[in-house]
A and B are shown apart, each in its own frame.
Chain A
Amino acid sequence: MSCGNPTTEPDALMQRRKKYDKTKNCVRCKDAQGNIVIRHTVYCKNCFTPLLIHKFRRVLEPTVNPKPDGPRRTALKPAGNLVIGFSGGLGSSVLLDLVHRCYVALDKSTMPTEGGRDHPRHERVWKKVTVCYVEVCDAFPGMDDRTDEIAHFVSRYDELDFVPLRIQHAFDRTWWERMGRSTSFSDIGVGLADESLLIEPLSQTYPDPLTALRTYLSSLPTPTAIHSSIQALTRVLLLHTALQTGSSHLVLGTSLTSLAVSLISGVAQGAGFNVREESMEEWTPDPETRPTPDTVPDDGTEGARKSKEAKRTVRIVRPLRDIGMKECATWAWWSHIPVVGKEKWVWPGAKPGIGTLTKDFILGLEQDYPSTVSTIVRTCGKLAPKGEVAGKCILCGRPAQRGVQEWKARISIRSQPPPPPSDSDSTDAPATPAPVVPESKADTRPSLTPYLCYPCHTTLTSRSARPVPSPWPDTAHSSVAPLPVWTEARLGTHADVGVSVADEEEIAVAKKMGQEEMKGIVNEFLLDDEEAS
């Protein structure tokens, strides 16, 4: 092989790099010819199935018991039931299929052979399995409602309950009441027009959930913010459904590829502190909004009784996080799973957001350099974010990092006061540099900011320099946007430090830092008058 011109010397053309290591035979059985290449490793069809099931179980089963197993593997006994978050996409379709095979239908071909006929693994792990689907079509113009198709897909699997929700349930007090939560809080919203995020009473009667949803989305500053918000609303809706069904586990169909996308796009939006939550997280409801004991469903099983008594926690697990999108597609094809699919979240004039751009990048990476995608996930798995947790974000329910607003105030240059008038007799003297101080109004009006995590605050306040077309331009623009019901409920019950309710119509927030305090922080950066002149 020479390094000459390929046009005149055919041998000069470099051979195409193989997409697989060693031979075309299966690395597992070493016998059959391979059918699929997964990150340079070749598997035959017969070995691919147990491999996938092993990867699935390996992620899910250590999370089933409330406490992790010790040296001896014990039987799988979760504290409650199971909810499968279903989007209609490839990952959640494969997840549903695997959960049903392994834990409902008890397909013996999916179980390890050791242990014997009476081994506990042959019993049902979860007595009740619910599939929850959140329809988002009402958030985007022209999107089809796929609820019926999804219901038909789920009906292929027996012994599964189906709970369809709509994204606007996040703004629906009737739904909140069905979850067993108190609805005795006033109608409050947030001003999204500027970054103060002031909490104010809604100027009109609380709108219907659909109008509230569209008003909220139309008030968000960027397409990225709209995508992130819908993802967060969906996740919290699923969590409350898990709570209401007495479930201790919520499983999501995030594949290795999707996880890489969400990790990178999350970090790009400031969610580095929650990088671990992207893989697995535990969520507890806000104490002041917990349901009363008699609203917790009791189907008479041991699991339901324990879930009533124990601290209510929902563990979110992503069992497909070691399984790439290619493997999911192969499984779906070979298992004849008729995936419904999901539509892109687009609207007229919208540019791609961070999530869409990241997904395009990762998919391209996976095609040319498949191992890099798993490297992204492995590397993020090693990260241990610094900082302490200061409660849960009032919007997304994830841990919020302590000191975020103080840090933002320190690093941000918000305003520059006009320079002092110059002396006309000293034209040669250098102009007095204007002191640059962070904006620090003595503003005691209540704000949503202290309750938000960094990425949610950025989502609500980070604006594009260009005008952003709204998905619902005809929706009447309001200076005060409605909030999700769980956010309103938590504000309304004022259980957080520093919040007091003056009366039913007003919330007062204690100011944490005054103007003099702020000046004290930046004092070392201010020039003295003697130095300046």
Chain B
Amino acid sequence: MTTDVSKQGATPRPSMRQRIRNSDVWWSFTHSKSAIVAAVILAVLVLAAVFAPLIAPQNPYDAAQLDMWKAELPPMWEQGGEWPYLLGTDTQGRDMLSAILYGTRISIVIGLASVALSLVIGMTAGLCAGFFGGYIDNILMRLGDITLSIPTILIAILVSTVVRQLLPADLREIGAAAVLVLAIALSSWVQYARTVRAQTIVERSKEYVQAARLLKVPSRRILAYHILPNTLTPVLVAATLNFGMAILTEATLSFLGIGMPPGQPSLGTLIRIGNQFLFSGSWWIVLFPVIQLCLLVVVVNILGDWLRDVLNPKLR
């Protein structure tokens, strides 16, 4: 207890544990089969992706490790399959399992980064709009309306095309991931902004906020210590569900050829490459990345739905 009081001048925060009411969430987690299964699968997928360099038989980015003689090998259990190419190889002799593990890594990183960026944009916009009201509110929320009236994919295409044109040619490969993150974030911040704004308006009029105002606590601190923590619960749920969406959007963009380049394939890029061989009989080149993508998005969504049910007191 002395630790948080010792920060003199700073307004204290309650402990993280209390904030998410851990015990309630944990209890309901241990009583939901689908949540447990989804969490286990997600944990396996994430761990495999994180430790891809240790697990994968091959580094798919390293051209020297690719063997053209091993191109288009079918999965192990099919006739002609070969160890260690468990899920077969693509037309360049790239091991599919390795490509998928590394691709999942890229997809997850881009998904997380874009959710984080859109959270920052959306929550800042929502807090300012709700707290200050007036024309700030009007401008921010009309911007949000405009964003929502354009389909997500279109915004992402617009942003990534524009930024790509602005970037010098030698940076394009490197910047591809950053462009994707920016594009997805700019197309998905509105939901957070609206949620946070609504909650901020509710909290702002509560008397504890007015008590803080009477003490002339600066707006910045009122927002950070009083209002923000009370908006986190709905935002957490939205962010989980949007993480799944972000991975899908990234895959779509990469599939359309405006996402990750073939040299650093994400799951979407792999699907795009594999798609060309679907009818030539090399089904494994496309099927396994598709399965991996679906699995990833489905378990994330199951967890998001479960979290929403747990944290929404109206449904309990």
Partners in one complex: no
Chain B interfacial positions (CB closer than 8 Å to A): none
Chain A interfacial positions (CB closer than 8 Å to B): none
